[in-house]
Structure formats: C-alpha cells, structure tokens
Amino acid sequence: MNFDRRTLLSFLAATAAAPLAAAERVETARVVLGVSAGSMVDNIARQVAEILRPAYAASTFVENKTGAGGIMAVSYLKTLPRDGSTIYVGVSSPLTVYPVTYKKLAYDPDKDLVAVGSLGSFDLALAVGPMVPTSVQDLRGYFEWCKGNPDQAAFGSPGAGSMPHFVGSMSARTAGVELRHVPYRGPGPAVLDLVGGNVSAVVVPLVDLTEFADHGKLRILGTTGSTRSRFVPKVPTFAEQGFGEYAMSVWIAVFVPAGTPDARVQHLRTVLRTGLAQPEVQAAMGKQLQAARWGDATELQQDIRRERASWKKAVDALHFTPES
C-alpha cells in the first residue's frame, strides 16, 4: 500500500491514539436524570445516550431517578461507580437554587459533582388549564383571578424549591397574591393534573406544554428568558408583562461523580462536544432547547457561581423556602 506523507502521518497519529481511546471507553454507561420519562429533559438525556455510542461506551441506558425535584437523582450519584460509567444530565436547580433554599442537602454540589459541560438552554412557562376561565389571557389576569378564587389559587411545578417553584411563587408575590404550591415528581405529572382540571396552573419547561397547547388543552400565558420563545412567538415573556425579575432561561448540563478519572472526563467532553456539533444532533436537540450549544466546564462553573449568588440574594431578601 502506498501512502503520501500527509496520509502516513494521519494514519500513524490515529494508530497511536487508538489504544488511549480504547482505554478511555467504558463498556456500559448509565445516564441518570431526575425527571420522569417522556419529559423534555428525558428526551435530551436519551439523545446524550445516543451520542455516547460507540465512541465513549459500547452500550448505554437511561435511568430516571425521580423525586424531590432532582435531589434524589443527585444524591443517588454518590452511590454509583466513579469509573466514568456514571453520567448525570440535569438542569440548574440542584446546583444553583437548592443550595440556597434548603438548609441541608444530602449532597455537596461543589464536592460531589464534576462539571463536564452544558448542552444549551430552555425556557420555563406558566400555563393554565380548564379550571381557569378562557377570559384569562395573561399573567396579570391569572393572578387577579387567583385573588378572587383563593381556594383554586395553586400551581404545580416539578419539585419543591426548584427554579419553576421559585419563578411561580415570586411572580405571584410581585402581583400581590400568595399561591399554594403543589410539587410533583417531574413536569409530566404536573401537566397531566393541569389538563385534568386538578390544579389551576403549572410552571414547567415550555416544551413540555406546547403539544397540549396546540390541541387546546391548556393556555400558555408567559415564558421566561430575555426574548420571546421561537416555539411560541405570540406569547409574551414574563418580563414583557412586568414579572421578569425572577424569570430566566434554564441551562441543561452534563456532570459525573467526583473521583471520575480525568482521562475519562476529558474523553467524555470531546465526544459530547463533537456530537453536539453534528447537524442531525443539532436538529434533534433544537426541537427541545431554545438554543443547543456546547458550553465548556469553566463557563458552566462560572454560571453556577453567578446564579447561586443571585438566587441567594433573592431568597434572603424574600425569605423564600421550599414550603413557600
């Protein structure tokens, strides 16, 4: 076989790297998340599992460890192997909101997790169901309706103390009304209770609402984030309606348990960053995320510190608790 110099150098480089790449791979990777199957975060986690095969792991599976808005999933990570076979896909609340809303957690977000990188961001939304009259068309209208119907003034979220819980409660307080909070084991059960007429409103990831909205089973009254969502461009943001102080987009990211070998972490970063750049992955994740974009670990850690400081300031000033 004849090689030109460039081909030969490429072949030698690939051959030299092969044993190292093989050493970095794991036989089976477990992708853990804290919400139920079928939700937006679950869909993203399953796409991550697909990206990992075969470059990072020969096989993968997704494990939904629901409960307490993600706390159970992060706590569960501490019991799993730290050899690179355990991967966590989650949103910001367990690392930014819970440390300042819960007096005690079963995990240390700074010591028990290693940031791999972020995958993008998405918006939350407040939606109302059949319990609320169709005349209510915006956030202020909903909060006014709650004042006149205190027995029905309740909203659901994916978990107590989570960002959706915070956004719903704080926005209501801005409007001068106290809403009873109903925590669920993820967004799916909350939305099902909403369309079933068992709770008047929910605050959950926007994408978990759009199909129901398209079929007229609920109405989306506002979205978080600095600009209107491309998924529902006619729906004004919380900020446009005067409730933007506590409403922001949510990032979704990948972590591994502390103690995972550095070589595995670096290989995982490379595989995910490369995979996320592929057009077919961008198209798939673009159906779920407002923006699908790889963010490196340093950037993610900066976001965590900044957001946690911001939430702590708000929590201290408003005396917000998971029971609020």
- Asked if the structure places residue 284 within a domain, the reply is yes
The predicted structure's pLDDT at residue 248: 87
Q: Please indicate, yes or no, whether residues 235 and 160 belong to a single structural domain of this protein.
A: yes
- Asked if the structure places residue 94 within a domain, the reply is yes
The predicted structure's pLDDT at residue 23: 57
Q: Please indicate, yes or no, whether residues 192 and 264 belong to a single structural domain of this protein.
A: no
Higher pLDDT, residue 11 or 278: 278
Q: Please indicate, yes or no, whether residues 242 and 255 belong to a single structural domain of this protein.
A: no
Computed over every residue of the chain, the mean pLDDT equals 90
Q: How confident is the model at residue 252 (pLDDT cuts 50, 70, 90)?
A: very high
Average confidence (pLDDT) over 165-193? 92
Higher pLDDT, residue 290 or 323: 290
- 163-174 and 139-148 helices, crossing angle to 10°: 70
Q: Please indicate, yes or no, whether residues 132 and 241 belong to a single structural domain of this protein.
A: yes
Q: Please indicate, yes or no, whether residues 289 and 181 belong to a single structural domain of this protein.
A: no
Q: Please indicate, yes or no, whether residues 225 and 280 belong to a single structural domain of this protein.
A: no
Q: Please indicate, yes or no, whether residues 42 and 142 belong to a single structural domain of this protein.
A: no
Please, which residues have CB within 8 angstroms of residue 124's CB and are 6 or more apart in sequence?
A: 163, 164, 167, 203, 204, 205, 206, 223, 224, 247, 249, 250
The predicted structure's pLDDT at residue 186: 84
CA distances for 98 relative to 91, 175, 308, 322, angstroms: 12, 24, 9, 9
pLDDT tens string 65-105 = 998 888 999 999 999 999 999 999 999 999 999 999 888 99
User: Nearest 5°: CA angle at 312, between 310 and 314?
Assistant: 75
DSSP SS3 for 27? strand
Which residue, of 248, 265, 288, is where some domain finishes? 248
Residue 11 pLDDT more than 70? no
Tell me whether strands 250-257 and 201-205 are parallel, antiparallel or unpaired: unpaired
- 163-174 and 297-318 helices, crossing angle to 10°: 40
Residue 151 pLDDT more than 80? yes
Percent helix, strand and coil across the chain, each rounded to 5? 45, 20, 35
**Distance from C-alpha of 117 to C-alpha of 171, rounded to nearest angstrom:** 30
Number of domains in the chain: 2
Average confidence (pLDDT) over 152-161? 92
Which residue, of 194, 227, 248, is where some domain finishes? 248
Range of the domain at 114: 27-121+249-316
Residue 7 pLDDT more than 70? no
Q: Please indicate, yes or no, whether residues 132 and 220 belong to a single structural domain of this protein.
A: yes
Average confidence (pLDDT) over 317-324? 76
**Within its chain, how far is the Cα of 83 from the centroid?**
24
The CATH number for 81's domain is: 3.40.190.150
Average confidence (pLDDT) over 99-112? 93
Which residue, of 197, 218, 248, is where some domain finishes? 248
Residue 62 pLDDT more than 90? yes
- Asked if the structure places residue 161 within a domain, the reply is yes
Residue with tokens 């943001």, as numbered in its chain: 237
Q: Please indicate, yes or no, whether residues 259 and 153 belong to a single structural domain of this protein.
A: no
Q: Please indicate, yes or no, whether residues 132 and 212 belong to a single structural domain of this protein.
A: yes
- Asked if the structure places residue 193 within a domain, the reply is yes
Residue 2 pLDDT more than 60? no
DSSP SS3 for 255? strand
pLDDT tens string 203-250 = 999 999 999 999 999 999 999 989 999 999 999 999 999 998 888 899
The CATH number for 218's domain is: 3.40.190.10
